[in-house]
Amino acid sequence: MKTPPIVLKFGGTSVGDAAAIARAARIVVSTENPVVVLSAAAGVTDRLVTLARRAARGRDAEIVEELVERHVALARELGVDPAEIAEPLAELRDCARGIALLVEDSPHARDRLLACGELLMAPLFAAYLRTLGHPAVGCSSAKLGLLTDDRHGRARPQPECFERLAASMAEQKLGCGEAIAVITGFIGTTADGRITTLGRGGSDYSASLVARAIGARELQIWTDVDGIHTADPRLVPDAPRIDHLTFREASELAFSGAKVLHPQTLTPAMEHGIPVAVRDTRHPELPGTSITAELPAGAVASRVRAIAHRTGVRVLTVLSPRMLARHGFLSRIAAEFDRHSLSIDMISTSEVSISLTPDDPDADLGPIIADLEGFAEVQVVEGRAMVSVVGDRLDRDGSVVAEVLAGVAALGAPVQMISYGATRTNLAFLVPEDRVVDVVRALHQLFFAPATP
């Protein structure tokens, strides 16, 4: 039997130009039985978002031709015939033209357009591998069977997607050591064949879904950093890389704002015990960060493993003195969030009020606020940041919580909400956004090496 495949996912910066694609290709061909999942080239999705807005106003030609020229030039620089990407280039033009004709940027039309970045990169990368003498096939994850619901822009994979992906790849003899499958990330399909997207960062999630479907022996996330650090290196430049994390710790970091992983990436891998590695495309010799169910034997874990943060947090406080001592208040609020397809990050309750933080910083809260005001007063506070102190050992040393709160108090930074989850892996709280840098640096200095001034 062939060795189970390794799924390698390359982000946008890892395929951003010809030199980056060449580096990624060298990693692929040096891997035994690889399956590749790709993002669009760096910056392309942002340009497609702009294109969608402009096309709805009848102004699409400039960006379309910019993207066409970029990918044609990239193909030629790699020694690939531009005809290899003729079909997705035609799709790009058709999607933009369709939005312009309808003068409407509908969710379905936008998803078709945003999918073009990955639909261009997969066949281009596969064609380049063939020029190196390695059989490779560019594949659309939608056509392979990544079935989702119809929530365009933030589609949710359906349980049957795993069986469909596995069957399609087996039928085409992909992932079995013959031709290298080069699969689009980010893209799914509804049951009736409409293109969906999994949201920004969804290519990581796609790779994890593929890894679970085909029983991969490892999922490797290749990016432009050397792993997961004890804090965001942009705030704490000397924050060291973490060699090993548990799934619980990595999941909490991802949901708490760590930029390296998409928040939902780990779930499919966790469910089937597939190890995940975060590696640096520019320095493949480095070990990166390994994420497994448990730390390897002999690994020493500190009380706090990392500090994450997320800005742009909004707090909704729902007050209703009429609900004093009456049941059903919380369930009624939860029902409104469900009806508006909004998820909740943090929640704090009292007898007559509930404070919540929606997980999507860009969501339009107007409709849900209007509905909540039908039975309660709603207050909205913006400009908050969430800080998370993460580690599997937090509950083994009660002093951590005291040290964190004392450290924040010493800065004079007010804390609005505190969440210490049932897993005791994450202590999270909100501070004013203009204080988050001070808080993260102070806590990093407290638990790790001193932060750079």
CATH of 6-224, one of 3.30.365.10, 3.40.1160.10, 1.10.10.60, 3.30.70.640: 3.40.1160.10
Mean pLDDT value across the chain: 90
pLDDT tens per residue, range 242-255: 999 999 899 889 88
- Top pLDDT among 422 and 54 is at 54
DSSP H or E stretch at residue 442: helix 436-447
Give the H or E element holding residue 354: strand 353-358
pLDDT at 60: 67
Q: Are 182 and 38 in contact (CB under 8 A)?
A: yes
pLDDT band at residue 345 under the 50/70/90 scheme: confident
CA distances from residue 47 to 55, 65, 108, 236, 298 in whole angstroms, order as listed: 12, 12, 18, 30, 47
The two tokens of residue 142 are 């939608």
Can you tell me the distance from the alpha carbon of 453 to that of 265, in angstroms, rounded to the nearest whole number?
33
Lowest pLDDT segment from 66-75, 79-88, 124-133, 198-207: 198-207
Q: Between the ranges 91-95, 96-100, 128-132, 259-263, where is the mean pLDDT highest?
A: 128-132
**Domain(s) of CATH 3.40.1160.10: residues in the chain:** 6-224
Secondary structure of 127-188 as H, E, C letters: HHHHHCCCCEEEECHHHHCCEECCCCCCCCECCCHHHHHHHHHHHCCCCCCCCEEEEECCEE
C-alpha distances out from residue 365 to 355, 368, 378, Å: 14, 6, 11
pLDDT over 80 (residue 303): yes
- Kindly report, as residue ranges, where domains of CATH 3.30.2130.10 are found in the chain: 306-447
Measure the CA–CA gap between 288 and 123, rounded to whole angstroms.
28
The fold for domain 306-447 equals VC0802-like (3.30.2130)
- Identify the top-confidence range among 26-30, 61-65, 299-303, 326-330: 26-30
The whole-number average pLDDT for the span 44-65 is 85
In 3D space, the residue among 12, 4, 6 whose CA is nearest the CA of residue 184 turns out to be 12
Looking at the predicted structure, is the pLDDT value of residue 423 above 70? no
Which pLDDT score is estimated for 62?
Answer: 85
Q: What is the pLDDT of residue 241?
A: 94
Given a cut of 90, whether residue 212 has pLDDT beyond it is yes
pLDDT at residue 177, as a whole number:
79
pLDDT for residue 207 is more than 90: yes
Say whether pLDDT at 295 is over 90.
Answer: no
What residue has token string 């290298």? 180
Q: What angle do CA 255, 257, 260 make, to 5 degrees?
A: 95
Whether residue 59 is predicted with pLDDT greater than 70 in this model: the reply is: no
The separation between CA 449 and the C-alpha centre of its own chain, rounded to angstroms, equals: 28
* The pair of three-digit structure tokens given for residue 390, joined into one six-digit string: 């993460």
The answer, yes or no, to whether residue 362 has pLDDT greater than 90, is no
Using the predicted structure, report yes or no on whether residue 375 has a pLDDT greater than 60: yes
pLDDT at 325: 55
Burial pattern 405-433, b for ≥16 Cβ within 10 A else e, equals: eebbeeeebeebbebeeeebbbbbbbbeb
What pLDDT is stored for residue 437 in this prediction?
96
CA distances from 41 to 16, 21, 116, 259 (A): 4, 9, 11, 18
pLDDT at 433: 96
Q: pLDDT tens, 163-195?
A: 999 999 999 999 887 899 999 999 999 999 999
Residue 434's CB is within 10 A of a number of other CB atoms, namely 11
CB 421 within 8 A of CB 299: no
* Per-residue pLDDT at 450 exceeds 60: no
